[in-house]
Amino acid sequence: MNLLITGGLGFIGSNFIRLLLEKYPKFEIWNLDAMTYAGNPENLHDYVNHSRYHFVKGSICNYELVDYLLSEYNIEAIINFAAESHVDRSISNPDVFVDTNVKGTLTLLNAFKKYRHQVQKYVQISTDEVYGHLGFNDPAFTEKTPIHPRSPYSSSKASADMLVQAFFHTYQLPVVITRCSNNYGPYQFPEKLIPLMIRNIQADKPLPVYGDGSNVRDWIHVTDHCRGILSALEKGTPGEVYNFGGDAEVSNLNMVKYLLKALGKGEDLITFVRDRPGHDLRYAMNFEKATKELGWRPQYDFDTGMQETIKWYLEHDEWVEHCITGEYLEYYSKQYGTKLT
């Protein structure tokens, strides 16, 4: 099956491509990625010459390019990972989030509509953040929870989800939406909580915990998410949404303490900083529908996944340092008033 995967040089997309190239020989992959600050060619450097992998540098907002790829390579399914993905960046610069996450998704859908005779499935990679946030005692989000995004990032992702659903209802296109909780694992850009904290702990630098650190995230290993996406591609019912979660709710403060303990450092590095504006309190996912309809459930237990992940970052110092480009340094110093290196 010929797949167009967008955003495949990012964290989750590159893990997904690696999974498919290593374990599923029936897929041939075209990876369309704009190579933003988060799109790192090193994430897939082992596969550049793989016979079933083709890289195309370009944006999902470029209709002519997407049209060309769908027709030239007989694409049979599209999986859209491409996005601006960092909430903090969306607070300081929302515009690019609308460009890529909303207009880019619309561009893909328009091209999909033209090639509906050939493309059998479109999978939109969405997020639990579209549901808004929960109080500490609220039940977890289900697919029936009304969407109620609160950040520019989650609003752009929710807008994209609504366009995807509109193309199902209006044009009967076979689309599926997956919504997942916070991923952890190898190749995550070190502006996100876990790799950022590991890097700072190694360097004995302050660990910036937003607010009082009580905000809760549900953590899932990226490989479990990727297995879920594959099951949605193969078994998902058109028009449906599937939640994925890791069944591992942890407060940010406890996550930082966990990392400090694993790396043998003291808690004096913890530094409480100004809270993120509009900071979502808690996310939690009910994924019973995915279990029932897709036969999916997370396989990693939290400790095993985290220990593997911490080891990976410690062994991939160089990868982390290469991510820290001039652009990222500039952003970081604006955000925290300090230099990262």
Q: Which residues bind ligand TYD (CB under 6 A)?
A: 87, 182, 192-193, 196, 208-210, 215, 217, 252, 276
Among 2, 31, 36, 215, binds ligand NAD (CB under 6 A): 36
Residue 193 partner contact from ligand TYD, ligand NAD, none using kind-dependent CB cut-offs of 5 to 8 Å: ligand TYD
Q: Do the Cβ atoms of 150 and 278 come closer than 8 Å?
A: yes
Residue with tokens 């083709």: 54
What is residue 130's three-state secondary structure? helix
Nearer to ligand TYD, 208 or 298 (CB): 208
The token duo for 55 is 């890289």
Nearer to ligand NAD, 204 or 321 (CB): 321
Residue 310 partner contact from ligand NAD, ligand TYD, none using kind-dependent CB cut-offs of 5 to 8 Å: none
Among 2, 90, 100, 151, binds ligand NAD (CB under 6 A): 100
Residue with tokens 């999978």: 123
CA distance 143 to 256: 30
209 pairs with which residues across the strands? 272
Q: Do the Cβ atoms of 280 and 214 come closer than 8 Å?
A: no
Q: Do the Cβ atoms of 79 and 17 come closer than 8 Å?
A: no
Asked if 228 is part of the footprint of ligand NAD (rule: CB under 6 A), the reply reads no
Within a 10 A sphere around the Cβ of 233, how many other Cβ atoms? 22
CA distance 80 to 125: 6
Which residues are marked as active site?
Answer: 128-129, 153
Nearer to ligand TYD, 18 or 282 (CB): 282
Span from 6-14, 45-53, 288-296, 304-312 in contact with ligand NAD (CB under 6 A) = 6-14
Closest contact distance (angstroms) between CB of 130 and ligand TYD is 12
Among 70, 140, 180, 198, binds ligand NAD (CB under 6 A): 180
DSSP state of 52: T
Asked if 38 is part of the footprint of ligand NAD (rule: CB under 6 A), the reply reads yes
Nearer to ligand TYD, 43 or 90 (CB): 90
The token duo for 119 is 């493309």
- Give me the phi and psi of 110, to 5 degrees please: -60, -45
Nearer to ligand NAD, 108 or 209 (CB): 108
DSSP state of 151: S
Span from 35-43, 202-210, 235-243, 322-330 in contact with ligand NAD (CB under 6 A) = 35-43
Asked if 156 is part of the footprint of ligand NAD (rule: CB under 6 A), the reply reads no
With b for 16 or more beta-carbon neighbours within 10 A and e for fewer, the 137-147 pattern comes to eeebbebebeb
Asked if 35 is part of the footprint of ligand NAD (rule: CB under 6 A), the reply reads yes
Q: Which residues of the chain form contacts with ligand NAD (CB under 6 A)?
A: 6-7, 9-13, 32-36, 38-39, 59-61, 81-85, 100, 104, 125, 127, 157, 180, 182-183, 189
